[in-house]
Structure 1
Amino acid sequence: MPGLVVAASAALVAWLVHLAVPAVPILTAAVALGIVVGQVPALRPALAGGLAPGLRVAARRLLRLGIVLLGLKLSLVDIATLGWVSILTTVAVVVVTFVGTIGLGRALGLPGHQPVLVASGFAICGASAIGAMAATVRARDEEQAVPVALVTLCGTLAIAVLPALWHPLGLSTTGFGHWVGAGVHDVGQVVATAQLAGSAALAVAVVVKLTRVLMLAPMVAITAAVERRRAIEPTGPRPAIVPLFVAGFLAAVLLNTFVPLPEPVLAGADLVQTALLATALFALGASIRFAELARTGWRALVVGLTSWALVAALAYGAVLIG
């Protein structure tokens, strides 16, 4: 309980930060707060001791529940309104970024599951995707620290960098929204960036972004299948091809698509989902140690920045094609 209470309290603080500065997404504030807490030497004994069990529950179980509820944001009808060209180019951006980032990460010698975790965060939906993929490949909490830090850093920078490039790149309002939705990592960061161009850009950006979020299920399933084939002990436990929380995510998408849910239900689910993910992402952020990143993280930084540039360039190309 102590770790859960601390993580939930931090999520509340992140919400207050968002209210004070609306441009700062709640989830970004939660991760950043966790990162700051993790750097305070006096707090580390508590983080590794009495708070550790609750923080692990937050980073794993609450994250999975939040991802399930994230499915209620998606409607296949809304995605279909984009048109086949936009849908296919969005899928292509996700796949090419995912595969390219994994290849670069392995070429630069990133350890363990870091290549696939960085790829998930930049290609799909930020820290939420990292947590989902980590659960699927059974990555250690320490392996998630660098990818979460990188995707938070780059997603936060995108809020300032992409609007500055809007007019120089000659994008229309809706074109800018499409670019943001296809190229920014976390849903909250997409909203914070696209709203600067008005409601039309925001609407397009959210639908494009949620199309990328929908790719979480097949990418996780494919990765799980690959992990099963690579398992050293065929008789031992292997990752499920479709983890239970991913099946729940898909069920939520179908429910929102085919069942007319009342608006208060959707609003309540959105509030709970944000609270769960903010709590989980604080716990993930608290596991990050900058001193360790400084010694071992330069390769991951190169991979992350390159992946960010790749997804932004591919997203811009998708806008021009669409």
Structure 2
Amino acid sequence: MGNHRAKILKEEKLPKPKRKASVGLLFSGIAFTVVIAAIGFALSKVPGFDHVGPLACAIVIAVIYRQFFGYPEALRSGIQFSSKRFLRFAIILYGLKLNIDTVLHQGLDLLIRDMAVIGFAILATVWLGKILKAEPSLSLLLGVGTGVCGAAAIASVSPILKADDEDTAIGVGIIALVGTVFSVVYTLIRPILPISDIHYGIWSGISLHEIAHVALAGAPAGQDALAIALLAKLGRVLLLVPLCFILIFWMKRKKSGNTSDTKIEFPWFLIGFILMSLFGSYCLGHSIPISQGIMNGVSDLTTFILTSAMVGLGLNVSLRDLRAKAFRPFIAMLITSIVLSVVTFFIA
């Protein structure tokens, strides 16, 4: 009996090392993104790279790492935690930099422009896809990703559209690549553009693909520009919810299966961003005094957290996969993105 009981106790303890290993890999993956973020910060201090900023430096390092060493699969859980949780947390903190009084009169106008951007991106990408004889499902996914919020939008609508995993993965890869390139280009041309920082922020917010891409491009223009860019972008994120319901209705009309049970994840971090914006606008510096040094420290911490999230985005870019597949949808989406960028520059 004693030996039997000892055997049972031994078997009950077997899963524990696995759980410890999983937790260890989670923290290792987070540490991996933090280290690359720190390298990006250091690189951004080098003359020449200082005009690009730490976010762009970190994401370029991540892209290069992926091409030479592949995706670190063992650290995937920690990297995904950084790219998702860190990103949302940083966006919430960025709400402190948004002055509500400055943007209240622009909110409705931004939302109208966001709606126009989404409609144009989807229709143009699908239309160009037909002309180029590209895969319709992938073209639609890329149109939604371009118009709304990149990979998050693709992941949200792919179950509704009954898209297969391969199309979803390729769409996310294309969005990550094109959005990253556009973001870096925006940061490089910003100093020579004859526009104000606020104009630049609105342009970035209504034209770039991911929230991370908007943050990447908007950060070098200053906190006010970044805040208005995020506000414009988060309007597009908010519109993902009604868009999903429209797509559900459309799929039902096509009789392509029952999508009534499809769940849509509400972007709760949008609420956090708005609450922090209200707190920063009407409490900090008024009923709650706070030094500029503390605010600068929070700003630096927020930028570092966001830079760590950039690493996960860069690691999703596989140039090899894009060379082998989806060339025509890629061209359709690229043309749409270029036209969208030019048009929104004049309406921002």
Q: Which moved more, 1:221-230 or 1:289-298?
A: 221-230
Secondary structure of the residue aligned to 1:288 is coil
Secondary structure of the residue aligned to 1:19 is coil
Q: Given the superposition, is the C-alpha separation of residues 10 and 92 from structure 1 closer, same or farther in structure 2, using an over 3 Å criterion?
A: same
Residue 68 (structure 1) shift: 1.9
Q: Does 1:66 align with 2:86?
A: no
Q: Counterparts of 1:314 and 1:244 in 2: how far apart (Å)?
A: 27
Q: Does 1:314 align with 2:340?
A: no
1:128-162 deviations in Å (ceiling 9; x for gaps): x4365467557866643221211110122233446
Please report the TM-score for the alignment, with normalisation by the length of structure 2: 0.69
The partner residue of 1:15 within 24, 34, 41 is 41
Q: Does 1:283 align with 2:312?
A: yes
Tell me how large the CA RMSD over aligned residues is: 3.2
Q: Given the superposition, is the C-alpha separation of residues 15 and 223 from structure 1 closer, same or farther in structure 2, using an over 3 Å criterion?
A: farther
Q: Spell out the pairing of 1:81-160 with structure 2 (5 A cutoff).
A: 90-107=110-127, 108=129, 109=136, 111=138, 113-120=141-148, 129-130=149-150, 133=153, 137=157, 143-160=171-188
Work out the number of aligned pairs and report it: 285
Q: Does 1:76 align with 2:100?
A: yes
Aligned to 2:79: 55
Q: Counterparts of 2:145 and 2:248 in 1: how far apart (Å)?
A: 17
Residue 98 (structure 1) shift: 2.2
1:80-132 deviations in Å (ceiling 9; x for gaps): 4xx65xx6664444332222112223331362733222223xxxxxxxx4365
Secondary structure of the residue aligned to 2:51 is coil
1:19-47 deviations in Å (ceiling 9; x for gaps): 2222112222222111111111xx33x61
Identity of aligned residues (%): 16
Counterpart of 1:96, as a letter, is A
Please report the TM-score for the alignment, with normalisation by the length of structure 1: 0.74
* Residues 177 and 205, structure 1, Cα contact 8 Å, conserved in 2: yes
Q: Given the superposition, is the C-alpha separation of residues 303 and 132 from structure 1 closer, same or farther in structure 2, using an over 3 Å criterion?
A: closer
Counterpart of 1:239, as a letter, is I
Q: Given the superposition, is the C-alpha separation of residues 248 and 309 from structure 1 closer, same or farther in structure 2, using an over 3 Å criterion?
A: same
Which protein has greater RCO, CA pairs closer than 8 Å, 6+ apart? Answer: 1
The partner residue of 1:238 within 254, 258, 263 is 263
Q: Counterparts of 2:219 and 2:309 in 1: how far apart (Å)?
A: 20
Residue 59 (structure 1) shift: 2.0
The partner residue of 1:4 within 30, 35, 42 is 30
Q: Given the superposition, is the C-alpha separation of residues 207 and 315 from structure 1 closer, same or farther in structure 2, using an over 3 Å criterion?
A: farther
Q: Counterparts of 1:99 and 1:266 in 2: how far apart (Å)?
A: 38
Q: Counterparts of 1:237 and 1:203 in 2: how far apart (Å)?
A: 38
Q: Does 1:212 align with 2:232?
A: yes
Largest Rg, 1 or 2: 2
Q: Counterparts of 1:266 and 1:317 in 2: how far apart (Å)?
A: 33
Aligned to 1:274: 303
* Residues 99 and 280, structure 2, Cα contact 8 Å, conserved in 1: yes
* Residues 154 and 172, structure 2, Cα contact 8 Å, conserved in 1: yes
Unaligned runs of 5+ in 2: 1-26, 130-135, 160-167, 209-213
